[in-house]
Chain A
Amino acid sequence: MAAFRQIFAILRKDLLLELRSKEVLTTMLVFALVVVVLFNFVFDPGAEEVKVTAPGILWVAIVFAGNLGLSRTFAREQENGVIQGLLLCPIDRSYLFVAKVLGNIIFIFLLEVVILPVMIVLFDVHIGGAWPMLLLVLLLGIIGFASVGTVFSAISANTKSREVMLPILLFPVTIPVILSSIKSTAYLFAGRELSEVWSWLRVLVGFDVVFFVVCFILYEYVIEE
């Protein structure tokens, strides 16, 4: 119970800080839009292939922007060494991890909720009745990504090259979750049967669980001095 109160306190603090600076969300959103616009040059606009590639564009925008968000949220914990202040508190490192992951998931999910309608309008995607399922995919797609990202952002922030290191570490390792997210989304965009979507969703959930658990266990080793 005590741990829940502490996790909630950290989440509340992170949201309050974000509400005040709006730094993480704006950076992520603008960057995601830039990525989407860039892809417009890669694929012929209006062509049928854009619809096929739309899920890929959506997820590339999400993970690129998410990468930025992850390094920003960790940088926030580094000013005045405040991360050590958190470590001094009587909270288990694993619960600290849970709090940080939840915060990152909330931020990236908010980004998704904004960027999705933009994608739908720009690429003329028809979702029909698959809305709840799509939101589920968007959420599941970032759990594994945010778990690994929360651990790796702590690592990269302490290397010589700082933020540059994060995408190099993060993207190759999280490709399984990114791929299954893209596939699930593509099936939903294409109006496929839910049972077909499930075949990819199952893989996605599997990786989410594995990545979350492993990161939950390993977080203390990256966060301690």
Chain B
Amino acid sequence: MNKKSIEPLYLLLLIVTFLLMGISLYLIFIVTPTERTMGEVQKIFYFHVPSAWTAFLAFFIVCIASIVFLKTGDAKWDKLAGSSAEIGILFTTLVLITGPLWAKPVWHVYWTWDARLTTSFILWLIYIAYLMLRSYTADSERGARFAAVFGIIGFIDVPIVYMSIRWWRTLHPSPVMAGNEGSGLAPEMVRTLMVSLVTFTFLFCILLMFRYKVAMLKSTVDYIKSKMDS
């Protein structure tokens, strides 16, 4: 019944995301000047930082959806949290892959146990544990409550990843998101980064909507199957 009202929205989002992707790529590789000391490899920056941002956003949604689920008991919030966590892990994985690729030529090592790298890795582990927990509990109200509680407590660690840069000594450049003078980023680079951030956010929204829809369809199918069995 709500099929008609949803489809145009998907289509619109898809078109916008495609356009944004094109613009981002054009800005990143054609328009924005190449960084002086690091060279071409610095282009990874425009994928690395937005991936990290998207991962934070995804885990934030896990936390909020978990809280709403505990308050309302409505299964759809549980599905939303689970969907968002999966996409969050995808983007955290991208962060963990693009990071070393960028680090190797610049820092001469793939990995260093500095605060931000370590905490990103921990974050990844936390949400892997979250998905494991989801798969090890039966698809029941209680299992959903477990996941929600873990999703909320696990999120306490997310701000630490962001703050870690200030608390611990680290090799990492200071956060560009804050737009400090000290970040030393050329205005064109900041602009490109912003466009890339918007693009990734749209990409996230699309992935989340599709994943959520699949999750809801799956529970419908499971329900129909159980009806046919009995």
Contact residues of A with B, CB < 8 Å? 148, 151-152, 155, 158-161, 165, 168-169, 172-173, 175-176, 203, 210-211, 214-215, 218, 221-222, 224-225
Contact = CB atoms under 8 A, between A and B. Distances in A.
B156 interface: yes
A225 B156 CA distance: 25
Find the residue from A148, A169, A203, A215 having the highest chain B CB count within 10 A: A169
Interface in B122-169: 122, 125-126, 129, 132-133, 136-137, 142, 145-146, 148-150, 152-154, 156-157, 160, 167
B219 to A, nearest CB: 20
Contacts of A224: 145
Contacts of B156: 173, 210-211, 214
Interface residues of B, number: 22
Contact of A173 (B70, B154, B167): B154
A155 B153 contact: no
Contact of A175 (B137, B142, B150, B157): B157
Nearest to B135: A160
Interface of B: 70, 122, 125-126, 129, 132-133, 136-137, 142, 145-146, 148-150, 152-154, 156-157, 160, 167
Chain A interface SS verdict (over half): helix
A116 to B, nearest CB: 27
B125 A172 contact: yes
A44 B75 CA distance: 54
19 contacts: A148-B153, A155-B133, A155-B150, A158-B146, A161-B136, A165-B133, A168-B129, A169-B129, A172-B154, A172-B157, A173-B157, A175-B122, A210-B156, A211-B156, A215-B153, A218-B70, A221-B70, A221-B148, A221-B149
A173 B153 contact: yes
